[in-house]
Amino acid sequence: AQSVSQHNHHVILSEAASLELGCNYSYGGTVNLFWYVQYPGQHLQLLLKYFSGDPLVKGIKGFEAEFIKSKFSFNLRKPSVQWSDTAEYFCAVGSGGGADGLTFGKGTHLIIQP
């Protein structure tokens, strides 16, 4: 069975700080990897996704993530955060065939202080 671990449950940063949120997964086969974001009062939005190819993927709003297969990791990064990045961030893993739905991490609550 797949599992996803997000190491940081709560992160507090100041504006302009750099961000890195950790995500490790456990799965033996081909995986699709995702980061979703849930802004206060809004529903889950797809931030970025990785299926194959270049392990460095860029998403919306300046976010990027790097897939390191040997480490089973898919960490989310942003060089300079803004107050509007305050949200809950979820890492998710899907099998290559989509059959199992997505397995989500517990989420990281990010607070950006002005």
Judged by beta carbon, residue 26 or residue 45, the one nearer another protein is: 45
Judged by beta carbon, residue 92 or residue 112, the one nearer another protein is: 92
Q: Using the rule CB under 8 A, is 46 a contact of another protein?
A: yes
Per-residue contact flags (x/-) with another protein for residues 48 to 87, judged by CB under 8 A: -x-x------------------------------------
Residue 24 to residue 26: CA distance in whole angstroms = 7
DSSP the chain: --EEE-S-SEEEEETT--EEE--EEE-SS-EEEEEEEE-TTS--EEEEEE-SS-SEEE-GGG-EEEEEGGGTEEEEEESS--GGG-EEEEEEEEETTSTT-EEEP--EEEEEE-
Site for another protein in 21-40 (CB under 8 A): 32, 34, 36
Contacting another protein (CB under 8 A), which of 47, 87, 107, 108?
107
Contacting another protein (CB under 8 A), which of 29, 43, 54, 114?
43
Judged by beta carbon, residue 94 or residue 112, the one nearer another protein is: 94
Q: Is the distance from CB of 104 to CB of 91 less than 8 angstroms?
A: yes
Binding residues (CB under 8 A) for another protein: these are 32, 34, 36, 43-46, 49, 51, 90, 92, 94-107
